[in-house]
């Protein structure tokens, strides 16, 4: 009885993995989840960069906009108000001077000199008030990054305030004459006109500095907006490009490894279907993720499968040899004879080739058994097979069909060649004595297959047997055909 040992784990139903063959895995493995997570981390990192930059830029812009709304806009508005107040003041001053010079005729519609002087004082007070507020705002700008610009504006305000104060002193000198109704001093009027011109120039410089500062604000905000858009675009494009590259690399890596596994499985399956040896090439997947782990397990499984198939083939060959070989002598048995003679006759018919058989029988073998025992008889059989196999050709086959009866199948051999081969075998036996029993002879009968007629194996063997019988009857140790 043949006993089979299962090579499968009864608990899991899977073939055991040889622990010695398994490579040690690194502590950290780039699994698919980690690859996708890493890709997401890169994209999130770029998104955070974009968000942080946006927050910082917006915070800085908010500070600058706050500065503009808190300082620049009020200062610009005050400058406009000062310009308007100065224009109204100039109109009143012009009318006052013309009235004082008598250039305007006495007309009830014209404003009297005293009333015009009061209006001039009111406009001057408004201008001075605006100058004071503007100077306070300009001083507050010293604590900002635009300190230099605010200092220049404050300097212009101080110059204008100085000119306005001098003009106020001259207005005060004119007030007594105007209240008393006395004619105004011509020299004083000329100085007032000169001082008013100086005040015009000072106001123009102030307006120029405020306008240039305002233009700086617009340019700065435009630059911030442009930088904001460009950096956001660059970061966004970088995230898209890098994300696309990383995604492509992950996809290519996964698809490449899956393709290798699929191709390896296909090769193994094809080898099994075609009953070929399973490919021994290792499954090369350079990855530490789940696909690499799967490839490693699959490689071990294929190795075990290949080993099992090799054992199966070896067992199959062994069983075939047992089934077709005589256990005592090692010659082919009758089962093998039945297979081979059919194929040989078919080849002879198709190829129009000669085919002969030689029947061999050991002379007086029964007396050997009776005299020396069956052990010696078995030794004689083994030695007979050994000498015969050394004498025949590679194309010939040797079969044991009975106790001391043998058949030689000789393809591409006609009757004359078969007789020569048989005589060679006979001499090999007769010329060298056997141990214990001494000389042992054989008788041989030859017959050729008639490929063109209705010959068959029974007729062929019958003719060979008749030839063997004649050799026996003729005194043994001879060849008949």
Q: Which residues are catalytic?
A: 404
Task: Please identify which residue in the block is written with the tokens 């009758």.
Answer: 334
How are strands ordered across the β-sheet holding 397-400?
397-400, 405-411, 355-362, 442-448, 479-480
> Rg (Cα) of the chain, in Å, rounded?
63
Rounded Cα distance, 116 and 88, in Å: 11
Residue 210, burial from CB neighbour count under 10 angstroms (0-12, 13-18, 19+) = buried
Rounded Cα distance, 92 and 174, in Å: 14
Cβ atoms 409, 341 nearer than 8 A: yes
Structure tokens at 130: 């605006």
Residue 435 dihedral angles phi and psi, to the nearest 5°? -65, 145
Cβ atoms 169, 192 nearer than 8 A: no
């Amino acid at each position: 009885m043949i006993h089979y040992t299962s090579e499968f784990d009864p608990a899991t139903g899977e073939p055991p993995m040889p622990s010695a063959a398994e490579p040690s895995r690194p502590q950290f493995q780039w699994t698919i989840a980690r690859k996708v997570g890493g890709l997401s981390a890169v994209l999130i990192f770029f998104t955070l960069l974009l968000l942080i930059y946006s927050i910082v830029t917006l915070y800085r812009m908010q500070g600058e906009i706050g500065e503009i709304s808190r300082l620049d806009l009020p200062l610009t508005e005050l400058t406009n108000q000062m310009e308007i107040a100065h224009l109204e003041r100039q109109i009143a001053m012009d009318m006052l001077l013309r009235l004082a010079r008598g250039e305007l005729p006495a007309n009830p519609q014209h404003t009297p000199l005293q009333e015009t002087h009061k209006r001039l004082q009111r406009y001057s007070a408004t201008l001075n008030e605006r100058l004071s507020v503007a100077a306070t705002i300009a001083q507050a700008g010293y604590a900002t990054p635009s300190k230099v610009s605010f200092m220049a504006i404050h300097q212009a305000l101080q110059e204008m305030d100085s000119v306005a104060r001098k003009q106020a002193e001259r207005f005060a000198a004119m007030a007594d004459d105007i209240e008393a109704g006395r004619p105004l001093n011509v020299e004083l009027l000329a100085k007032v006109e000169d001082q008013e011109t100086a005040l015009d120039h000072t106001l123009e410089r102030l307006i120029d500095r405020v306008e240039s500062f305002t233009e700086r604000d617009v340019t700065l905000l435009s630059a911030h907006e442009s930088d904001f858009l460009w950096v956001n675009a660059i970061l966004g494009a970088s995230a898209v490009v890098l994300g696309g590259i990383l995604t492509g690399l992950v996809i290519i890596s996964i698809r490449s490894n899956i393709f290798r596994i699929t191709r390896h499985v296909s090769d193994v399956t094809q080898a099994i279907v075609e009953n070929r040896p399973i490919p021994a090439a290792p499954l090369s997947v350079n990855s530490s993720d789940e696909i690499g782990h799967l490839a490693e397990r699959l490689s071990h499984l294929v190795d075990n499968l290949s080993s099992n198939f090799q054992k199966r083939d070896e067992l199959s060959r062994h069983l075939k040899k047992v089934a077709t070989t005589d256990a005592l002598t090692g010659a082919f048995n009758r089962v093998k004879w039945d297979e081979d003679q059919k194929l040989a006759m078919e080849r002879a018919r198709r190829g129009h080739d000669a085919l002969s058989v030689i029947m061999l029988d050991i002379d007086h073998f029964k007396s050997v058994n009776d005299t020396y025992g069956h052990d010696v008889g078995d030794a004689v059989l083994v030695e007979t097979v050994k000498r015969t196999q050394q004498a025949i050709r590679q194309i010939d086959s040797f079969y044991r069909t009975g106790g001391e009866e043998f058949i030689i199948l000789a393809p591409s051999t006609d009757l004359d060649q078969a007789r020569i081969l048989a005589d060679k075998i006979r001499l090999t036996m007769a010329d060298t004595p056997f141990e214990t029993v001494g000389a042992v002879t054989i008788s041989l009968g030859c017959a050729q297959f008639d490929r063109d007629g209705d010959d068959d194996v029974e007729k062929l063997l019958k003719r060979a047997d008749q030839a063997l019988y004649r050799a026996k009857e003729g005194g043994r140790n001879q060849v008949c055909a």
